[in-house]
């Protein structure tokens, strides 16, 4: 039966994920920590996995060695200070083995007895009549050489299976019973099998106290003599002979050897080579000799290894890369002289004709510069020429490593060798002509170029306006590269050139000729990009382009493409973008210099299919994730167009009388899309206007939005039509309506005249039609056909209504946000407030909820002076949304919600209302609580603890079900319950998320003026804590005030992290009341008070922790159980 340790080693090889393998490796390290005497046994087993053919297994084995090494104390012997002066050196007790070997056994026995009698003085005792024959026996004089040397142990391992059997059977004594003989035979066979397996796998015998066959080791010696710190010399031999096996022909073994040695060198490199019996002054030299020996072996690997593999579009040399990392770990412990010696050999490797050798040498330089930063100033002048030569190498993989090696020391390069930087930058610009999606050096070159150009002095030295006009277009193809880091580096390079704007190369000299192409490339990146970090850089580059470009050039470059850019933002999801609307980013063939050493024919570039939100928006698993990508792309695009619109709206000095202003043309274009029948058209146009207005407000500019656009927005706010996006669903609904009408007529039922005329029915009319019942007597088969048609019609009506409601809500919310940003609120605010609140309540997309939250915060500011003021009602509803989930905001009457809740329970704005209180059962089935979670009641229990137990029970049941085990109890009920409650739980989660977004936005928007701007919100939350009174008991008459307190604490927890620093004083004043809430008789109140204290421990740390130390911790010793529960839950939330 396999032990737990065996299963851990098995997981290193068979773990389904890297996380599982790493977890097993860490647990093996814990075994070493708990059982230090098992070090050699653990290493012996791990070494077999370092030779595995599986890459993941070797990586896991390296992690296991790292975990083991971390749990072994560092070997730091003090050495021998000198030799003690004794009465004798002990040489007189040594036996001349050559002299004894010439004697026969009898003569040798007599000689040894004589010598012992003489040395012990027993010859005198025999002369006086003392019997000395019993002092020792002849067996005591038999010489038994110990297998102490490493070579002897290796020789013992190499014994064949037959020799092992023969040795074991020779130990069988004649007087043994049949059972003992059979046991000896079985032991011999088992030993032979294990010995054969060890020889095949190359498993070393690492035990330093190996016993002869058939002997059991002393338990005390077994515990103490196998520890690494007690046998450093033996450990060195193990590392050198077993881990660094670089002479074998299998790359898997070399990779595993480098991986294992890297982990040992990182942790125990400082103590390697040191021995306890060496003089103290020689310890450091012994350590340096060991390190130099390892470094030389690694350098041999660089010069001999030729293995390379291809992953994606880059070559991977796992052996050289791993050995380079190991060399970095070794160089970390070497002296400066030793590092310079290694550097000299690396420089010789760079001169070799084989590209693999040059590749390995550059890898060594890369990690040398990264590890020994204190030597960069001294070594960089001699290294840079070799790296420059590597940047011009004919092999892309060598170029990639050369560029990557200098990226970490760019700052030192600019300071130490400023005169060589222009030449390097020129080489990098020229290299861009030879790069494409398939070259391995693209990523490294772009990163190095972007890093160098971030220094203003470099840009001034290497560029001028005329040169940049030629150089910058070389970056266009890399804005659309398949590797995200390349796209990011390209954008950062452009942003750096725009920000630097040096006198030698002002943007006004080189930007105007490139402005239109730059705008098109950057905007296209915003449509097809999926990475958030890159989208942020896209917006920065766009803003800098608008800022640096002369206004007349900007208008001339952007206006011809406004219509196309709007259409790109309105692109339907999962539909390929027309290639004619995109800019061609492929490298022109004539730009490739034929004289460069790496020149080659232009690759054949296949047409790439582009989608809004990127290709990931088509391949993602769930509709929600795909919609998130698409909405993110639309919001980024309209943000760019909104900023551009503010520049187009500025007065143009060159505009001639009678010419149409660019802003008027833009207004006509927006009005056209606002009048369309597509929901996406209207939403995008409204979002552009909204971002236009917000950008002008942020820059204190007067609104220049045309009057026609404003009027059209107010008209769209009250319109309701069926959009083009629901054409398929609407047509299906009309077909089902006609089929149902036909079935009704066949049954002889009366039909409405409008429906009978064949006119199109609205969703409301179709829903009413589906509810029509036939009053005539109908045959059973006709009734069955009629009910089938009815169910199909109801499904079509439901789908059409849901799609129409989704698109209509998004359009109305976008239009309402635009009107709020333009400060064009109508007299009746309900058409503006309703779509914003409904978005917070029902919109699945968090990005649109964030947009609605910002608009609602601005709306509250604009309506502060209105009479009547809608703000109290709005904030009351927002507080209700925040408390909509009774799992997140517990009920005082039932703190722990059952897993199965009534499916018919309506969504409640505030927990604790009659509609929000669950009934005792759902659908006739009693509530289901997992085992171990019944310890919470209205007044007792720790809700946090019980929820953790319930979640663990659900997770355990789900895992058991996933493995196919039959569990007719808990698992089946829970899976059915979770599936049934999914929609209700989702709706509550959407409301809570929307409320959290808007409350956070309100706190940030109003800042320190929140208390005066929205006094009702402040008094209902933080102000409610000032009047906390502990009721005598948890009687039903106190349920209402207790639930109000719970809801107030929930809102405080949400808003607290976003409150202005000037309001923290009032939070600190509420700390004593929170401590009082920890003694509240209601479990739900104690739970929420503990959560708020956990939040405040991050916001006002010092004051909160003082309260905890002075009041909360002493409550742990209180006699009342309620106080101990409250204090314990508070500490749990804080920690």
- H/E segment holding residue 507: helix 507-528
Sequence-distant (6+) residues with CB within 8 A of 879 are 910, 995, 1017, 1020, 1021, 1047, 1051
Could you read off the pLDDT of 499-513 as tens digits, one per residue? 887 777 788 888 999
Supply the pLDDT for residue 172: 53
d(CA 42, CA 122): 50
- Residue 242 reports pLDDT greater than 60: no
For residue 417, the surrounding DSSP H or E stretch is none
The structural domain count of the chain equals: 5
CB 372 within 8 A of CB 394: no
Question: 703 forms bridges with which residues in the sheet?
Answer: none
- Taking the C-alpha atoms of residue 357 and residue 361, their distance in angstroms, rounded to an integer, is 6
783 plus 849 within the same structural domain: yes
CB 451 within 8 A of CB 410: yes
- Residues 22 and 112 both lie in one domain: no
Q: What CA–CA distance (Å, rounded) separates 343 from 365? A: 7
Cβ proximity of 75 and 274 under 8 Å: yes
Asked if residue 948 has pLDDT above 50, the reply is yes
Query: Tokens in use for 89?
Result: 């050196």
Q: Which residue has the higher pLDDT, 984 or 258?
A: 258
Sign of CA dihedral 802, 803, 808, 813: positive
CB 476 within 8 A of CB 517: yes
Is residue 365 within 8 Å of residue 387, measured between CB atoms? yes
User: Is the pLDDT reported for residue 915 higher than 70?
Assistant: no
Of 649, 681, 716, the residue that ends a domain is: 716
Q: How many degrees, rounded to 5, is the angle at CA 37 between CA 35 and CA 39?
A: 90
Query: Quick check: is 854 in a domain?
Result: yes
- Rounded to an integer, what distance in angstroms lies between the CA atom of residue 376 and that of residue 625? 47
554 falls within a domain? yes
pLDDT at 837 (0 to 100): 95
pLDDT of residue 234: 46
1004-1020 mean pLDDT: 93
Q: How far apart are CA 745 and CA 756, in angstroms?
A: 10
309 found inside a domain = no
Q: Distance between CA 321 and CA 310 in Å, rounded? A: 14
Angle at CA of residue 809, ends 806 and 811, nearest 5°: 110
Closest CA to 374 of 410, 337, 336: 336
Question: Are residues 681 and 761 located together in one domain of the fold?
Answer: no
pLDDT given for residue 136 in this prediction: 62
Average pLDDT over residues 882-891: 89
Instruction: To the nearest 10°, report the CA torsion of 338, 343, 346, 350.
Output: -170
- Would residue 294 count as lying in a domain? no
Confidence of residue 629 (pLDDT cuts 50, 70, 90): very high
Is-contact 1120 932, C-beta < 8 A?
A: no
565-614, pLDDT tens digit by residue?
999 999 999 899 988 888 876 654 334 333 334 433 344 445 678 899 98
Percent of the chain with pLDDT over 90: 38
Residue after which a domain boundary falls, among 716, 737, 771: 716
Query: CA 120, 123, 128, 133: dihedral to nearest 10 degrees?
Result: 80
Supply the pLDDT for residue 537: 95
| Structural contact between residues 848 and 817, judged by C-beta atoms closer than 8 angstroms | no
Angle between helix 283-304 and helix 355-371 axes, rounded to 10 deg: 150
Q: Which residues contact 73 (CB under 8 A, 6 or more apart)?
A: 229
Picking from 316-325, 603-612, 675-684, 778-787, which range would have the lowest pLDDT averaged per residue?
603-612
Tokens of 93: 């007790």
pLDDT given at position 987: 86
Q: How far apart are CA 442 and CA 276, in angstroms?
A: 52
- Within a domain: residue 1013? yes
Q: Residue 332 and residue 288: Cα distance in Å, rounded?
A: 11
Indicate if 979 and 1051 belong to the same structural domain. Answer: yes
Q: Are residues 666 and 544 in the same domain?
A: yes
3-state secondary structure 1064-1090: HHHHHHCHHHHHHHCCCCCHHHHHHHH
Q: How confident is the model at residue 135 (pLDDT cuts 50, 70, 90)?
A: low
Cα–Cα distance, 699 to 803 (Å, whole number): 38
How close are the terminal C-alpha atoms of the chain, in Å? 41
Residues 908 and 902: their CA atoms lie apart, in Å, by: 13
Q: Please check whether residue 946 is in contact with residue 935, taking contact to mean a CB–CB distance below 8 angstroms.
A: yes
Tell me the mean pLDDT in the region 988-992: 90
Q: Which residues contact 855 (CB under 8 A, 6 or more apart)?
A: 690, 813, 816, 817, 820, 821, 836
Helix-strand-coil percent breakdown of the chain, rounded to 5?
Answer: 70, 0, 30
Q: Are residues 1049 and 1097 in the same domain?
A: yes
In this predicted model, what pLDDT tens digit does every residue of 546-561 receive, in sequence order? 999 999 999 999 999 9
Q: Which of 81-90, 705-714, 977-986 shows the lowest per-residue confidence on average (mean pLDDT)? A: 81-90
Task: Write out the DSSP string of 952-991.
Answer: HHHHHHHHHHHTT---TTHHHHHHHHHHHSHHHHHHHHHH
Residue 248 Ramachandran class (φ > 0 left, ψ -120 to 50 alpha, else beta): beta
Q: Which residue has the higher pLDDT, 891 or 598?
A: 891
Which single residue is written with the structure tokens 């059409």? 800
Of 134-143, 380-389, 894-903, which one has max mean pLDDT? 380-389
CA–CA separation, 463 and 479 (whole Å): 21
* 485-494, 700-709, 751-760, 1043-1052, range with the lowest pLDDT: 751-760
Average pLDDT over residues 726-743: 89
CATH number at residue 54: 1.25.10
CA-nearest of 243, 332, 333 to 288 is: 333
For residue 147, name the pLDDT band (cuts at 50, 70, 90).
Answer: very low
Within this chain, do residues 931 and 1018 fall inside the same structural domain, yes or no?
yes
Question: Using 50, 70 and 90 to split pLDDT, how confident is the model at 144?
Answer: low
Quickly count: other Cβ atoms within 10 Å of residue 1048's Cβ. Answer: 22
213 vs 1120: which has the higher pLDDT = 1120
Structure tokens at 758: 């064949």
| Residue 949, pLDDT score | 81
- Nearest 10 degrees: Cα torsion 320, 324, 325, 329: 150
- Rounded to the nearest 10 degrees, the angle between the axes of helix 970-980 and helix 943-962 is 100
Please tell me the predicted confidence (pLDDT) of residue 1037.
83
pLDDT digits (tens, 9 = 90+) for 408-460: 899 899 889 888 888 899 899 988 888 876 777 888 898 898 888 888 777 66
pLDDT band for 309, please (50, 70, 90 cuts).
low
Strand ranges inside 196-317, DSSP E:
309-311, 314-316
| Residue 694 confidence (pLDDT) | 93
Report how far residue 545's alpha carbon sits from residue 560's, in angstroms, rounded to the nearest whole number.
Answer: 17
- Phi-psi region at 923: left, alpha or beta (left = phi > 0; alpha = psi -120 to 50): left
pLDDT of residue 90: 55
Quick one: pLDDT at residue 833?
95
Q: CA 956, CA 967: separation in Å to the nearest integer? A: 12
- More confidently predicted of 929 and 514: 514
Question: Is the pLDDT at 902 greater than 50, yes or no?
Answer: no
pLDDT band at 972 (very low <50, low <70, confident <90, very high): very low
Same domain, 954 and 1057: yes
> In this structure, what token pair is assigned to residue 347?
């420089």
Average pLDDT for the chain:
80
Q: Which residue has the tokens 């206007």?
A: 689
Position 333 confidence tier, pLDDT thresholds 50, 70, 90: very high
* pLDDT score recorded for residue 624: 87
Domain boundary among 658, 691, 716: 716
Q: Is residue 27 part of a domain?
A: yes
Q: What is the pLDDT of residue 2?
A: 66
Cα–Cα distance for residue pair 235/65, rounded to 1 Å: 13
Q: What is the pLDDT of residue 876?
A: 94
**Could you tell me if 694 and 835 lie in one domain?**
no
Q: How far apart are CA 682 and CA 713, in angstroms?
A: 9
CA separation for the pair 1075, 1084 (Å, rounded): 14
Residue 61 lies in a domain: yes
Whether residue 245 has pLDDT greater than 70:
no
Q: What is the largest CA-CA distance in the chain?
A: 145
pLDDT score, position 671: 95
- Token pair listed for 695: 């950008």
224, pLDDT greater than 60: no
**Co-location of 1051 and 1087 in the same domain:** yes
| Tokens coding 359 | 């590749």
**pLDDT exceeds 90 at position 875:** yes
Give the residue from 74, 68, 76 showing the smallest Cα distance to 33.
68
Task: Establish if 200 belongs to a structural domain.
Answer: no
Read off the tokens for 1026.
Answer: 């000032």
Rounded distance between C-alpha atoms, residue 397 and residue 405, angstroms: 12
Same domain, yes or no: 732 and 858: yes
Contact 593, 427 (CB under 8 A): no
For 749, the domain range is 724-862
Question: Can you give the pLDDT at residue 895?
Answer: 86
Q: Which of 378-387, 610-619, 751-760 has the lowest mean pLDDT?
A: 751-760
Which has the higher per-residue pLDDT, 701 or 525?
Answer: 525
8 Å CB contact between 1049 and 1096: no
- Using an 8 Å Cβ cutoff, are 463 and 471 in contact? yes
| Residues above pLDDT 70, as percent of the chain | 75
pLDDT tens digits, 27-69? 998 888 888 888 888 988 888 888 888 888 989 998 999 899 8
| Cα angle: 676, vertex 680, 682; to 5 degrees | 45
- Considering the domain architecture, whether residues 1027 and 919 belong to the same structural domain is answered as yes
pLDDT interval class at 674 (50, 70, 90): very high
């Amino acid at each position: 039966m396999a032990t737990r340790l065996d299963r851990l080693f098995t997981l290193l090889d068979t773990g389904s994920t890297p996380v599982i393998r790493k977890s097993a490796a860490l647990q093996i390290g814990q075994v070493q920590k708990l059982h230090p005497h098992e070090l050699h046994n653990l290493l012996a087993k791990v070494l077999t996995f370092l030779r595995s053919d599986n890459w993941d297994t070797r990586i896991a084995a390296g992690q296991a060695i790292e975990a083991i090494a971390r749990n072994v104390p560092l070997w730091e012997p003090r050495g021998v200070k000198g030799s003690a002066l004794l009465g004798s050196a002990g040489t007189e007790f040594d036996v001349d083995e050559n002299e004894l070997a010439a004697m026969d056994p009898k003569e040798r026995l007599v000689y040894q007895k004589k010598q012992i009698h003489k040395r012990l003085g027993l010859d005198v005792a025999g002369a006086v009549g003392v019997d000395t024959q019993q002092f020792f026996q002849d067996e005591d004089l038999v010489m038994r050489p110990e297998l102490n040397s490493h070579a002897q142990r290796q020789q013992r391992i190499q014994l064949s299976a037959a020799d092992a059997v023969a040795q074991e059977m020779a130990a069988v004594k004649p007087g043994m019973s049949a059972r003992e003989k059979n046991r000896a035979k079985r032991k011999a066979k088992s030993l032979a099998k294990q010995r054969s397996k060890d020889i095949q796998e190359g498993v070393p015998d690492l035990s330093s106290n190996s016993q002869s066959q058939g002997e059991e080791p002393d338990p005390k010696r077994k515990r103490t003599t196998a520890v690494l710190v007690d046998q450093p010399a033996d450990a060195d031999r193990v590392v050198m002979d077993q881990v660094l096996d670089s002479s074998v022909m299998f790359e898997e073994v070399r990779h595993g050897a480098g991986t294992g040695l890297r982990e040992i060198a990182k942790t125990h490199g400082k103590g390697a080579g040191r021995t306890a019996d060496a003089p103290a002054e020689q310890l450091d030299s012994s350590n340096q000799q060991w390190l130099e020996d390892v470094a030389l072996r690694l350098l041999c690997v660089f010069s001999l290894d030729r293995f390379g593999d291809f992953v994606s579009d880059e070559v991977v040399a796992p052996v050289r890369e791993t050995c380079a990392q190991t060399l970095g770990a070794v160089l970390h412990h070497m002296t400066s002289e030793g590092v310079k010696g290694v550097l000299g050999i690396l420089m010789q490797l760079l001169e070799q004709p084989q590209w693999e050798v040059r590749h390995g040498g550059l890898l060594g330089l890369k990690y040398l510069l990264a590890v020994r930063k204190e030597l960069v100033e001294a070594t960089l002048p001699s290294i840079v020429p070799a790296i420059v030569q590597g940047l011009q190498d004919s092999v892309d993989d060598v170029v990639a490593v050369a560029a990557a090696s200098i990226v970490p020391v760019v700052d030192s390069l600019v300071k130490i060798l400023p005169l060589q930087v222009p030449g390097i930058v020129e080489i990098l610009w020229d290299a861009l002509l030879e790069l494409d999606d398939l070259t391995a050096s693209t990523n490294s070159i772009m990163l190095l170029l972007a890093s160098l150009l971030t220094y203003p002095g470099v840009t001034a030295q290497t560029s001028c306006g005329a040169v940049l006009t030629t150089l910058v277009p070389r970056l266009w193809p890399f804005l659309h590269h398949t590797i995200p880091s390349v796209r990011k580096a390209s954008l950062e390079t452009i942003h750096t050139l725009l920000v630097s704007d040096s006198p030698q190369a002002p943007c006004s000299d080189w930007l105007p000729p490139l402005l239109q192409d730059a705008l098109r490339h950057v905007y296209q990146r915003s449509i097809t990009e999926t990475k958030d970090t890159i989208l942020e850089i896209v917006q920065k580059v766009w803003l800098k382009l608008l800022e640096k470009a002369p206004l007349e050039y900007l208008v001339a470059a952007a206006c011809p493409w406004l219509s196309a850019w709007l259409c790109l933002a309105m692109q339907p999801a999962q539909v390929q973008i027309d290639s004619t609307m995109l800019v061609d980013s492929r490298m022109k063939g004539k730009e490739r210099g034929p004289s460069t050493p790496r020149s080659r024919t232009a690759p054949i570039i296949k047409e790439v299919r582009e989608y809004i939100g990127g290709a990931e928006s088509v391949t993602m698993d769930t509709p929600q994730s795909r919609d998130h990508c698409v909405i993110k792309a639309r919001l980024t695009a309209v943000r760019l167009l909104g900023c551009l619109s503010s520049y187009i709206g500025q007065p143009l000095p060159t505009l001639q009388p009678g010419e149409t202003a660019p802003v008027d043309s833009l207004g006509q274009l927006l009005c056209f899309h606002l009048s369309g029948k597509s929901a996406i058209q209207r939403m995008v146009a409204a979002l552009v206007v909204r971002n236009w207005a917000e950008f002008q407000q942020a820059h204190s500019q007067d609104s220049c939005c045309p009057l026609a656009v404003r009027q059209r927005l107010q008209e769209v706010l009250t319109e309701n039509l069926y959009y083009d996006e629901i054409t398929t669903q609407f047509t299906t609904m009309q077909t089902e309506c006609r089929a149902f009408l036909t079935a009704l007529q066949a049954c002889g039922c009366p039909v409405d005249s409008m429906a009978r005329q064949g006119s199109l029915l609205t969703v409301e009319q179709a829903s009413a039609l589906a509810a029509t019942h036939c009053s005539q007597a109908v045959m059973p088969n006709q009734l069955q056909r009629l009910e089938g048609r009815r169910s199909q019609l109801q499904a079509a009506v439901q789908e059409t209504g849901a799609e129409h409601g989704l698109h209509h809500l998004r359009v109305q919310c976008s239009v309402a946000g635009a009107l709020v940003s333009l400060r064009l609120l109508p007299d009746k605010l309900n058409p503006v407030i309703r779509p914003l609140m409904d978005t917070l309540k029902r919109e699945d997309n968090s990005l649109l909820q964030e947009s609605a939250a910002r608009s609602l915060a601005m709306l509250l500011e604009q309506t502060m002076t209105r009479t009547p003021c809608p703000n109290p009602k709005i904030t009351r509803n927002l507080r209700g949304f925040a408390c909509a989930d009774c799992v997140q905001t517990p009920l005082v009457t039932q703190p722990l919600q059952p897993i199965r809740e009534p499916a018919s329970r309506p969504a409640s704005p505030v927990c604790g209302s009659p509609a929000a209180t669950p009934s005792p059962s759902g659908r006739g089935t009693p509530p289901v609580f997992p085992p171990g979670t019944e310890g919470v009641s209205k007044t007792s229990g720790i809700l946090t603890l019980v929820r953790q137990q319930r979640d663990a029970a659900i997770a355990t049941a789900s895992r058991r079900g996933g493995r196919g085990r039959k569990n007719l109890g808990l698992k089946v009920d829970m899976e059915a319950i979770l599936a049934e409650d999914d929609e209700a739980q989702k709706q509550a989660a959407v409301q809570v998320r929307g409320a959290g977004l808007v409350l956070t936005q309100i706190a940030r928007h109003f800042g320190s003026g929140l208390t005066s701007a929205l006094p009702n919100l402040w008094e209902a939350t933080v102000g409610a804590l000032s009047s906390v009174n502990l009721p005598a008991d948890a009687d039903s008459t106190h349920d209402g005030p207790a639930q109000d307190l719970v809801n107030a604490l929930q809102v405080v927890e949400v808003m607290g992290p976003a409150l202005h620093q000037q309001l923290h004083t009032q939070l600190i004043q509420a700390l004593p009341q929170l401590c009082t809430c920890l003694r509240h008789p209601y479990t739900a109140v104690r739970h929420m008070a503990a959560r708020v204290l956990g939040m405040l421990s991050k916001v006002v740390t010092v004051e909160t922790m003082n309260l905890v130390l002075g009041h909360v911790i002493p409550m742990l010793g209180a006699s009342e159980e309620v106080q101990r529960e409250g204090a314990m839950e508070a500490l749990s939330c804080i920690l």
